[in-house]
């Protein structure tokens, strides 16, 4: 079976094909990535609902009820249940299968349990991939169930459009025991097992927190609290309505787009991380380098940190052709700080014979300038016109002398962003106006080994 064949079957909605690709993913089969690439253009239509909460809160029962309700509306449903137990016990997986058995015969529903351990790229990565597979297969709603343990509940909001946090009454003071971060992820609070007497108390407690705790959610969306009895299916229509409201809110405010943007960004970085690590690991292992290094680390002759530094340096050399896109066209001028332009002019004009200077005052820098053409470049005399001019300060600390060298560049904005990206210290983050209508910016002497450098972009005509 080629990745293309499999992708074709998945696009036709085949459950067997979906299951097969997930298996490829779990086995880190290279073909999985080829297949995901083909599916990607068909993704982005499904709505993703996350259901999280403590073990035994009734998440699976709730998910099954939700799925049945969506099926009544003729929507196709994908369910991913993330099982917190080790992949070897499989107990809870079976439990979920039984609970959802009435759904599993329905061709409009796809259910998959996944163990949380054993994924090289991490749970979020693999779950994200499975969500995309189901999305491409045409599932209109995808529900992801995960237990609120450790980092998982934070990860679910990276995948889900709407996150439901399931709480149960009588499970001790759940709100107290739940970390603040867990409360924050909820778009909707579900108080399940509302057949228990303490349910109303819990609901009002949660509602109080929602109304008074600014950290729970930004004000534009106040998470509703919905009571459900998942085993009886009661409260499900209210929950559906809350989900629809939240979806509408996300769409109307542009937040859905924002979330998808953030998700795609994360996703790209995570995929890069996974691929890069795989690549490096394979090279280190295949080349035997790793096995040559480890004995030294064990014997204490090397430490792992320096070793990793060396590996990274060796593998990730930025190609020299990438080093610079900016183009220095020449030396535009050399700026000389002088105490008095009038006193300095005679030397340059008469003794050096450079001819009459062009004079100009640059108001916003508090300087007066006189410039002489010297071949392809110029000498620019600079005099302070006020005490707080940079030239006044320069002369105070250095005396008269070379103040800066100005290089002509094609585009000062591009030059700035490139230098900034590569770690140069910039005095100007954006270009400003200089003498003669130029656009200029200064680079700090700390980065240039002692001389102030001006970048200077001149429009046509004037050199």
* Pairing mode, strands 141-147 and 47-53: parallel
Residue 192 touches which of ligand GTP, Mg ion, none (Cβ within 5-8 Å per kind): ligand GTP
Token readout for 72 is: 């009544």
Tell me how crowded residue 38 is: count the other CB atoms within 10 A of its CB.
Answer: 16
Burial 402-421 (b: 16+ CB within 10 A, else e): ebbbbbbbebbeebbbbbee
- Nearest-approach distance from CB 194 to ligand GTP, in angstroms: 6
Indicate whether 60 belongs to the interface with Mg ion (CB under 5 A).
yes
Burial class (CB in 10 A: 0-12, 13-18, 19+), 282: exposed
From first CA to last CA, the distance across the chain in angstroms is: 66
Cβ proximity to ligand GTP, 56 vs 181, nearer residue: 56
Cβ proximity to ligand GTP, 229 vs 435, nearer residue: 229
Residue 412 touches which of Mg ion, ligand GTP, none (Cβ within 5-8 Å per kind): none
In Å, how far from its chain's centre is CA 455? 32
- Nearest-approach distance from CB 312 to ligand GTP, in angstroms: 40
Q: How far apart are CA 426 and CA 454, in angstroms?
A: 10
Cβ proximity to ligand GTP, 92 vs 368, nearer residue: 92
Longest dimension (CA), the chain: 102
Token readout for 240 is: 């559906």
| Closest residue to Mg ion, based on beta-carbon distance | 60
Residue 195 touches which of Mg ion, ligand GTP, none (Cβ within 5-8 Å per kind): ligand GTP
Residue 431 touches which of Mg ion, ligand GTP, none (Cβ within 5-8 Å per kind): none
Token readout for 32 is: 């999985």
List helix spans (H) across 399-456: 412-421, 445-448
* Per rule CB under 5 A, count of chain residues that contact Mg ion: 2
Using CB under 6 A, list all residues that contact ligand GTP: 55-61, 92, 99, 147, 192-193, 195, 229-231
β partners of residue 47: 141
Cβ proximity to Mg ion, 81 vs 455, nearer residue: 81
Residue 58 touches which of Mg ion, ligand GTP, none (Cβ within 5-8 Å per kind): ligand GTP
Residue 458 touches which of ligand GTP, Mg ion, none (Cβ within 5-8 Å per kind): none
Cβ proximity to ligand GTP, 81 vs 440, nearer residue: 81
Residue 32 in contact with residue 118, Cβ under 8 Å? no
The DSSP symbol for 149 reads -
Burial 58-67 (b: 16+ CB within 10 A, else e): bbbbbbbbbb
Residue 381 in contact with residue 369, Cβ under 8 Å? yes
Candidate ranges 26-34, 51-59, 233-241, 337-345; the one touching Mg ion (CB under 5 A): 51-59
Q: How far apart are CA 135 and CA 45, in angstroms?
A: 7
Residue 403 touches which of Mg ion, ligand GTP, none (Cβ within 5-8 Å per kind): none
Handedness of CA 323, 325, 331, 333 (dihedral sign): negative
- Nearest-approach distance from CB 278 to ligand GTP, in angstroms: 31
- Nearest-approach distance from CB 62 to Mg ion, in angstroms: 9
Residue 56 touches which of ligand GTP, Mg ion, none (Cβ within 5-8 Å per kind): ligand GTP
| 155 dihedral zone (left: phi>0; alpha: psi -120 to 50; beta) | alpha
- Nearest-approach distance from CB 56 to ligand GTP, in angstroms: 4
Residue ranges in 148-207 that form contacts with Mg ion under rule CB under 5 A: none
Residue 55 touches which of Mg ion, ligand GTP, none (Cβ within 5-8 Å per kind): ligand GTP
Candidate ranges 53-61, 107-115, 133-141, 359-367; the one touching Mg ion (CB under 5 A): 53-61
* Pairing mode, strands 367-374 and 401-409: unpaired
Residue 61 touches which of ligand GTP, Mg ion, none (Cβ within 5-8 Å per kind): ligand GTP
Cβ proximity to ligand GTP, 58 vs 335, nearer residue: 58
Candidate ranges 14-22, 57-65, 281-289, 367-375; the one touching Mg ion (CB under 5 A): 57-65
Cβ proximity to ligand GTP, 147 vs 379, nearer residue: 147
Measured CA distances, 221 to 186, 216, 218, 374 (Å)? 11, 10, 6, 66
- Nearest-approach distance from CB 154 to ligand GTP, in angstroms: 17
Residue 434 touches which of Mg ion, ligand GTP, none (Cβ within 5-8 Å per kind): none
- Nearest-approach distance from CB 145 to Mg ion, in angstroms: 6
| Closest residue to ligand GTP, based on beta-carbon distance | 58
- Nearest-approach distance from CB 237 to ligand GTP, in angstroms: 15
Residue 243 in contact with residue 142, Cβ under 8 Å? no
Indicate whether 146 belongs to the interface with Mg ion (CB under 5 A).
no
- Nearest-approach distance from CB 235 to ligand GTP, in angstroms: 8
Residue 350 in contact with residue 377, Cβ under 8 Å? no
Q: How far apart are CA 168 and CA 165, in angstroms?
A: 10
Residues found near Mg ion in the complex (CB under 5 A): 59-60
């Amino acid at each position: 079976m080629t990745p293309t064949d499999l992708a074709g079957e998945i696009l036709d909605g085949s459950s067997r094909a979906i299951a097969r690709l997930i298996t490829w993913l779990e086995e880190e089969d290279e073909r999985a990535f080829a297949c995901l690439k083909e599916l990607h253009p068909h993704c982005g239509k499904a709505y993703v609902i996350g259901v999280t909460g403590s073990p035994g809160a009734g998440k699976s029962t709730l998910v099954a009820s939700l799925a049945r309700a969506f099926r009544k509306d003729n929507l196709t449903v994908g369910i991913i249940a993330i099982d917190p137990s080790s992949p070897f016990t499989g107990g809870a997986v079976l439990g979920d299968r039984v609970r959802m058995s009435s759904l599993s015969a329905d061709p409009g529903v796809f259910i998959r349990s996944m163990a949380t351990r054993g994924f090289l790229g991490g749970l979020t990565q693999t779950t994200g991939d499975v969500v995309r597979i189901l999305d491409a297969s045409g599932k209109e709603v995808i529900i992801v169930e995960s237990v609120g343990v450790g980092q998982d509940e934070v990860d679910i909001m990276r995948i889900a459009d709407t996150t439901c946090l399931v709480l149960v009454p009588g499970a001790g003071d759940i709100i107290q025991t739940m970390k603040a971060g867990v409360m924050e992820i909820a778009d909707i609070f579900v108080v399940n097992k509302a057949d228990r007497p303490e349910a109303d108390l819990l609901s009002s407690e949660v509602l109080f927190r929602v109304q008074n705790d600014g950290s729970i959610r930004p004000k534009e969306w106040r998470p509703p609290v919905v009571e459900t009895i998942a085993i009886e299916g009661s409260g499900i229509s209210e929950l559906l309505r809350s989900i629809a409201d939240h979806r509408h809110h996300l769409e109307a405010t542009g937040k859905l787009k924002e979330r998808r943007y953030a998700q795609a960004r994360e996703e790209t970085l995570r995929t890069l991380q996974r691929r890069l690590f795989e690549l490096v690991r394979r090279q280190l292992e295949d080349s035997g380098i790793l096995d040559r290094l480890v004995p030294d680390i064990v014997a204490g002759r090397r430490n792992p940190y320096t070793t990793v530094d060396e590996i990274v340096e060796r593998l990730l050399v930025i190609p020299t052709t990438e080093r610079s896109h900016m183009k220095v066209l020449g030396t535009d001028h050399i700026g000389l700080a002088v105490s008095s332009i009038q006193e300095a002019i005679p030397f340059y004009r008469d003794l050096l014979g450079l001819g009459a200077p062009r004079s100009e005052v640059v108001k916003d820098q508090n300087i007066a300038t006189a410039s002489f053409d010297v071949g392809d470049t110029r000498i620019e005399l600079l005099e302070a016109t006020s005490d707080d001019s940079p030239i006044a300060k320069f002369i105070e600390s250095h005396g008269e002398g070379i103040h800066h060298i100005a290089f002509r560049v094609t585009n000062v904005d591009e030059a700035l962003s490139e230098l900034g990206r590569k770690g140069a210290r910039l005095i100007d983050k954006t270009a400003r106006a200089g003498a003669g209508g130029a656009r200029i910016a200064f680079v700090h002497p700390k980065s240039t080994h002692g001389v102030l450098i001006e970048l200077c972009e001149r429009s046509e005509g004037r050199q």
